[in-house]
Structure 1
Amino acid sequence: MSTPTILLIEDEQHIAEGLIFNLEAEGYRVLWAQSGEEGLELLQREQVSLLVLDLMLPGISGYEVCRRLRTGNPRLPVLILSARAEERDRVKGLALGADDYLIKPFSLDEFLLRVRGMLKRAEWYQAKTVSELVFGDNRIDLRQGTATTARGELTLTEQELKLLRVLAERAGEVVDRTLLLKEAWGMRPETATRTLDNFIVRLRRYFEPDPARPRHFLTVRGRGYRLVLEPEKTA
């Protein structure tokens, strides 16, 4: 198995040096860029397994880096690191295609756990033989990461595919939040995050006829979510 390559785009040198030291101690190859423009150049030249991205950068922002990346590479796992702790900042980052969002200052153990989890899930997904998921007016190729919907064609991110896979394997069942966070993100059960909820909102926007009145991606209050492939018809 090849050594995973992690690209870190972070302009604060003391933060970058600490992360690089610990990531390399874990056995990863690390590339470092201090601006969004430099990071995008490295993404063109290098085979990267994971992008760790700061938002507040000189030149173009981390948001813009994520947007440009997703136009050509919908699958690369992206972990945002930012001091921006407000909900709207997290939602914006996730809406642009990031897979997870960690607020500065953060625990080094938590950071390394997120990295390991994202790399493991990416490897796990790529090794799977997967099939199509069909419901409503949607047909999703979980191998190619493409979908046909009532609104047209779209390409899914790696993290969207992981979440769909976990839900599809338990279609019709209530899937607890802790299980979804563990299997789709590799997070510990006690992790407090709105990442899962933001991803469910995104899937509803893609696949529900009326995202405000979901029929397929249902919330089970106090527990988690349930994927319903064939909702009961209403009179």
Structure 2
Amino acid sequence: MSKPSILVVEDEEKIARVLELELEYEGYSVVKANDGLEGMQQFRENSWDLILLDVMLPGMSGVDLLRRMRSGGDETPVIMLTAKDGLEDKVEGLDLGANDYVTKPFQIEELLARIRAALRTKTKPKEVEQGVMILADLKVNEATHEVFRGKEQIELTAKEFSLLVYFIKNQRQVLNREQLLDHVWGYDYYGDTNIVDVYVRYLRNKMDKGYEPQLLHTVRGVGYVLKDPR
């Protein structure tokens, strides 16, 4: 089983280092970002089980970073870290979709307990009702096989729909052709792997062409990823 991954976005190097050491000791995989812009880049490029996010950051504030994450439909658990203890600041973060709020200085045991609690309640991708998955303005209803961009319904073939469902269930993860073949076409498929590229093109033309933001991206030399680039 892989280690749960945690992104620590914290500009105070001593605090970030302590968090890194404590979290790694507890068995987590940790990456640090020392400002909001680097934090946003890490968020966009990788998939995280939880994010520890300082409120006051250079480049982009933690609140702005959280706002961009949630506006794209991402539901990665976020625990805000702040030197502020005012009720107004906590309410703002929680209203934007933070899962929890910890005020500095904090006891590491309390933070670890809050991390465990947040990871237990993790849901991905976001489901507003049974069978409905959302990314930006894209809605996929697995039960009814309906797909919408905003208010416009997108008509997909059965194979295109299966491909999109696999993408949205693994949003922000880069998927290679072999993974897509195995999960969408089946392990017993022995045809040309170029079929993946063909169907990705079909899917992109239907669900991305003419819409903003574009959600289905090519990662050269690796595969494809469904994500909100904002």
Q: TM-score category by the smaller chain?
A: 0.5 to 0.7
Match of 1:141 among 100, 104, 129: 129
* C-alpha spacing 1:86/1:143, structure 2 compared with 1 (3 Å): farther
* C-alpha spacing 1:19/1:142, structure 2 compared with 1 (3 Å): farther
For 2:89 and 2:131, the matched residues in 1 are separated by 31
For 1:5 and 1:142, the matched residues in 2 are separated by 27
Aligned to 2:34: 34
Aligned to 1:70: 70
Q: Show CA shifts across 1:201-223 (max 9, x none).
A: xxxxxxxxxxxxxxxxxxxxxxx
AA aligned opposite 1:77: P
Q: Show CA shifts across 1:138-194 (max 9, x none).
A: xx5055467xxxxxx9x9xxxxxxxxxxxxxxxxxxxxxxxxxxxxxxxxxxxxxxx
Q: How does 1:163-178 map to 2 (within 5 A)?
A: none
AA aligned opposite 2:129: D
* C-alpha spacing 1:59/1:73, structure 2 compared with 1 (3 Å): same
* C-alpha spacing 1:142/1:113, structure 2 compared with 1 (3 Å): farther
TM-score, normalization: structure 2?
0.54
Instruction: Give the number of aligned pairs.
Output: 135
Aligned to 1:102: 102
* Structure 2 unaligned blocks of 5 or more: 140-230
Larger Rg: 2
* Structure 1 unaligned blocks of 5 or more: 127-131, 133-139, 147-152, 156-235
Aligned to 2:189: none
AA aligned opposite 2:12: E
For 2:105 and 2:63, the matched residues in 1 are separated by 19
AA aligned opposite 2:101: Y
TM-score, normalization: structure 1?
0.53
CA shift, 1:71, in A, is 1.6
Q: How does 1:1-235 map to 2 (within 5 A)?
A: 1-122=1-122, 140-144=128-132
* C-alpha spacing 1:69/1:111, structure 2 compared with 1 (3 Å): same
For 1:145 and 1:100, the matched residues in 2 are separated by 23
For 1:81 and 1:145, the matched residues in 2 are separated by 29
For 1:16 and 1:143, the matched residues in 2 are separated by 38
Give the match's secondary structure for 1:64: helix
For 1:31 and 1:143, the matched residues in 2 are separated by 32
* C-alpha spacing 1:145/1:11, structure 2 compared with 1 (3 Å): same
Give the match's secondary structure for 1:141: coil
CA shift, 1:46, in A, is 1.0
AA aligned opposite 1:141: E
* C-alpha spacing 1:106/1:44, structure 2 compared with 1 (3 Å): same
AA aligned opposite 1:59: G
AA aligned opposite 1:60: M
CA shift, 1:42, in A, is 0.6
CA shift, 1:2, in A, is 2.2
AA aligned opposite 1:34: N
Aligned to 2:179: none
* C-alpha spacing 1:96/1:26, structure 2 compared with 1 (3 Å): same
For 1:73 and 1:47, the matched residues in 2 are separated by 14
CA shift, 1:121, in A, is 2.1
AA aligned opposite 1:33: A
Q: Output the aligned Cα RMSD.
A: 2.2
Percentage identity across paired residues of the two chains: 42
AA aligned opposite 2:48: V
For 2:93 and 2:107, the matched residues in 1 are separated by 20
For 1:144 and 1:13, the matched residues in 2 are separated by 41
AA aligned opposite 1:84: K
CA shift, 1:120, in A, is 2.0
